[in-house]
Amino acid sequence: MSLSPGLLLRDFRLVDETMDMPGSVWIEQGIIRDVFPQGALLPETRLPMHQTIQGGGTLVLMPALVDLHAHFRDPGYPEKETLESGSLAAVAGGYGTVVCMANTKPVIDTLAKARTLKKRADTLGLMDLYPVLALTQGMEGKVLSEIRCLKGPLHESEPWIPMLSEDGKDVVSDDLLYQAMQEARRLGVPLSCHCDAGGPEAEEAKAAGKPREFWSRIEENHATQRVLELAWQAQGHVHIAHVSTKESVDLIRKAKGRRQEKPGPLGFTLTAEATPHHLCLTHGTAHALGDTTWGRVNPPLRTEADRQALIQAVRDGTIDAIATDHAPHTERDKLQGAPGFTGLETSFALCQMELVQQDRLSLSRLSSLMSASPARILGFTDRGRIAPTFRGDLMVVDTEAVWQVNPSLFRSRGKNSPVPGLPCRGRVLMTIYQGRVVFESFLSPDSSSGKGK
């Protein structure tokens, strides 16, 4: 892939987790070389052959987003998504890095399968895709996958596998999950846990005919508690995916406190994510969309009290990152009850509107949750910030752009948005990957106004 020789992003509001200031950014060979505060002498006379993009003093330049959790359905379900459509959706949403879950057909449970996927994604040259490896063969929950034979640490041998996960379902056997956690520790990577292995109380509630919103809460809380106990014993890095109940938030907050009081011998590390849909929507939306069809997602959309607990948790750091759980499905599958929402192309706008414009988070904190912090969880030290030596993976945002969610215009094949028709304020106008413009919004009223030669 050819890197752009030089890119000057001029007169922007520069926002990352450590700054919010007017200035300009100089990228060379795909890497940020300089960050200039407003009024500083710019390097344009040094290098005549470069591209300039004008921010006009109002557009915001932020690090490209990093998604810890997406489903690209490739291989196996091209009617839902492919690497191509998923990558286009990702860059349209401002993403430069996406971790893809293994519940494809076949399941990604060997290094060879993961490598094929990674190579194909790299050929597209739009963004960085990282496959996870499933914990068990075929995600059947019976025998550990190839993770048990890999050489560690992976950041030395296979740095393109930054996470392990069986997302899509939980590993029911405590013993097997514990073994997987030990392998993850040996390999030096986080293990992302999809917490819904029920326990007897949830089974009783199900058998008694209680509604899904009742038993699925018991399931998640039980599963989170189980994972935290096993993780404490395994002393590795466990990451909790799509936290959705206030009780799980409390369990995670307590477990993080326990770590500080009594650090384990080898390094119990706990991180957690919440999705834009659980942070911004409640069961009322699921009900209006159809609880068993368009509104169905795992875990389900919950109550306003749960949503407020999640917002408090992203504010106080109990939840470390916002991840999409982008789960594209066809119309047919949704009508038959397939759980999940397409999310890559609306995640930033939803979070900006619900969290930043409502004064719950600063834009800088949102950047941390969607870029720098997920990058840290994956062990990437080269992205997620606007600073010299970091990668030129950036996005241009117009925080005032007014638009409406129209799933038929999504690059994703999954049109199953939970917010079709939603009026939005704030939009990703452009995505830059390693110093090259890989996405530019054709809908923005201002998309050409800021762009220089």
Q: Which residues does the annotation mark as catalytic?
A: 325
Given Zn ion, ligand DOR, none, residue 371, with its beta carbon under 5 to 8 Å by kind, binds none
Q: Which residue bears the tokens 């397939």? A: 338
What single-letter DSSP state applies at residue 408? Answer: G
What single-letter DSSP state applies at residue 451? Answer: B
Helix, strand, coil percentages, rounded to 5, for the chain:
35, 25, 40
Given ligand DOR, Zn ion, none, residue 297, with its beta carbon under 5 to 8 Å by kind, binds ligand DOR
How many Cβ atoms are within 10 Å of 43's Cβ, its own excluded? 16
**Which of left, alpha, beta for 56 (phi over 0: left; psi -120 to 50: alpha)?**
left
Given ligand DOR, Zn ion, none, residue 326, with its beta carbon under 5 to 8 Å by kind, binds none
Quote the tokens at residue 118. 């990674």
In the complex, minimum distance from the CB of residue 326 to ligand DOR, in angstroms, rounded to a whole number: 9
Pairing outcome for strands 60-63 and 394-404: antiparallel
Pairing outcome for strands 60-63 and 95-100: unpaired
Instruction: Find how far residue 46's CA is from the centre of its chain.
Output: 38
Quote the tokens at residue 365. 């904190």
* DSSP string computed for 209-264: T--HHHHHHHHHHHHHHHHHHHHHHHTSEEEE-S---HHHHHHHHHHHHHHHHS--
Q: Which is nearer to ligand DOR, 297 or 432 (CB)?
A: 297
* DSSP string computed for 130-167: EEPBPSBGGG-SSSB-GGGT--S-HHHH-TT---EE-T
Q: Which is nearer to ligand DOR, 334 or 427 (CB)?
A: 334
In the complex, minimum distance from the CB of residue 100 to ligand DOR, in angstroms, rounded to a whole number: 11
Q: ∠ CA(63), CA(73), CA(218), 5° rounding?
A: 85
Q: How many Å apart are CA 218 and CA 220, to the nearest integer?
A: 6
Query: 215 - beta bridge partners?
Result: none
Q: Which is nearer to ligand DOR, 298 or 367 (CB)?
A: 298
Q: Which is nearer to Zn ion, 28 or 67 (CB)?
A: 67
In the complex, minimum distance from the CB of residue 194 to ligand DOR, in angstroms, rounded to a whole number: 5
Contact (Cβ atoms closer than 8 angstroms) between residue 65 and residue 93: yes
In the complex, minimum distance from the CB of residue 344 to Zn ion, in angstroms, rounded to a whole number: 13
In the complex, minimum distance from the CB of residue 351 to Zn ion, in angstroms, rounded to a whole number: 18
In the complex, minimum distance from the CB of residue 167 to Zn ion, in angstroms, rounded to a whole number: 4
The 3-state DSSP class for residue 99 equals strand
Q: How many Å apart are CA 25 and CA 21, to the nearest integer?
A: 12
In the complex, minimum distance from the CB of residue 65 to Zn ion, in angstroms, rounded to a whole number: 17
Kindly give, in sequence order, each residue whose CB lies less than 8 Å from that of residue 141, ignoring residues fewer than 6 positions away: 166, 169, 171, 172, 173, 176
Report the interface residues with Zn ion, using CB under 5 A. 167, 325
Residue nearest to ligand DOR (CB): 340
Q: Which is nearer to ligand DOR, 327 or 351 (CB)?
A: 327
In the complex, minimum distance from the CB of residue 252 to ligand DOR, in angstroms, rounded to a whole number: 18
Contact (Cβ atoms closer than 8 angstroms) between residue 53 and residue 9: yes
Q: Which is nearer to Zn ion, 101 or 218 (CB)?
A: 101
Report the interface residues with ligand DOR, using CB under 6 A. 71, 103, 167-168, 194, 297-298, 325, 327, 339-340
Q: Which is nearer to ligand DOR, 216 or 373 (CB)?
A: 216
